[in-house]
Amino acid sequence: MRGATGDHPPATSGYDAELRRHNEVLRRAAGIRLHDHVLDIGCGTGQTTRQAARTAREGSALGVDVSAPAITRARELARAEGPGNVAFEHADAQDHPFPQERFDLVISRFGTMFFDDPGAAFTNIGRALRRDGRLVMMVWQAGELNEWDVTIRRSLAAAEGSAAGPPGGPDPFSLADPTAVQELLRGAGFTDASFTDVHEDVNYGRDVAAALAWVRGFTCTSEVLKRLDPAAATRAVETLRAELAAHLGEDGVRFDSRAWIVAARRS
Ligand SMILES: C[S@@+](CC[C@H](N)C(=O)[O-])C[C@H]1O[C@@H](n2cnc3c(N)ncnc32)[C@H](O)[C@@H]1O
C-alpha cells in the first residue's frame, strides 16, 4: 500500500516520521478527554493509539489492525513505552464483533480507506460507539491534489515503452469525495459529518536514499515495478530518484499533500 494503503510495514519510524505534521492535526481534532474510551481503526504500529491512551489516562485505547505484523510491533512498542491502558487486537474492523456502545470516540489515521464493503464496515464501527459518540478520521483527498501521488505516478509512467499501467490494489483515495462520504456515513448511522482541509507536507526521509527505499515499499510503487521489464524498472526508479532529489530540503524529502479530517457523530 502507499504509506497509504492496506499493508503497512511493521516498522515504527517510517510512517510516523512521514506523518509527523498530520499526526498533530489529528491529535488536536480528536480532542480526547481524560475518561474517554478510544478505538483506533487500522492502527498500524500504534503511535496514534498510544498517544490516545496517554491523553485518556482514566480511560483506555484499543488499536485494531488487519495486519498481524503491525499488531505484533504495536504490542512490542506498547510494552516498551507504555502506557498501561492501551491494548491491540488483530482484527478486520469491517466485521470484528466489537463490544457494542463501548467507545466514546473512534479515531483513525489513514486506516479507513481500504474496506471491501465500506457501508458494512462503518455500520460495524458505529455499533461500537456509544450514542452521540464521535468518529474523527484522517483520509486522503483526491490523488490529483496530492503531489506525492502525482509525482510517483508520473515517475513510474515515465518508463517509456513499459506496461506500467494503473497501480491497482487498495485505493488510498476511496474516501476523498465529501458528498459520497457523507452519504456513506449517513447510511451507517452517523450524523453531522464535517470535512476539514488538512494541507501539510509528508516527509519521506532525511535523504534521497532513505526516501527512495520508503517509496519503493508502497504497494502502488512495488506492484508497478514488478510488472515492468528490468530495463524499464531501472528507468522508473532513476526518474523517481531524481524527483525525490528535487524535493530534498533541509529537513528531508517533502511533498505537498491534502487530506481531510472527517468528523461525525453516531446518531
Ligand atoms: C496507511 S496504514 C495507517 C496505519 C496507522 N493508522 C498509522 O497511521 O500509522 C493503513 C492501515 O489500515 C489497516 N487496515 C486496512 N484494512 C483494514 C481493515 N479492514 N481492518 C483493520 N485494519 C485495516 C492496514 O493494515 C494498515 O495498517
Tens digit of each residue's pLDDT (9 = 90 or more) over 24-65: 999 999 999 999 999 999 999 999 999 999 999 999 999 999
Percent of the chain at pLDDT above 70?
A: 91
**Residue that the C-alpha cell 483526491 belongs to:** 142
Mark 161-178 as b/e (b = at least 16 C-beta within 10 Å). Answer: ebebeebebbbbbbbbee
DSSP secondary structure code for residue 98 in this structure: P
160 CA distance to ligand 1 centroid (A)?
A: 33
Helix (H) or strand (E) holding 191: strand 190-203
77 CA distance to ligand 1 centroid (A)?
A: 17
| Residue 204 Cβ < 6 Å to ligand 1 | no
Q: Which CATH number fits domain 13-142+169-203+255-266: 3.40.50.300, 3.40.50.720, 3.80.10.10, 3.40.50.150?
A: 3.40.50.150
User: Which of 65, 75, 116 for a ligand 1 pocket mutation test, highest count of atoms within 8 Å of Cβ?
Assistant: 65
| Residue 224 Cβ < 6 Å to ligand 1 | no
| Residue 262 Cβ < 6 Å to ligand 1 | no
Distance, in Å, from the CA atom of 184 to the CA atom of 190, rounded to the nearest integer, reads: 9
The answer, as to whether pTM is greater than 0.85, is yes
Q: At what angle do helices 230-246 and 147-157 cross, to 10 degrees?
A: 150
108 CA distance to ligand 1 centroid (A)?
A: 8
For residue 105, give the C-alpha cell: 470516540
End-to-end CA, the chain: 32
112 CA distance to ligand 1 centroid (A)?
A: 7
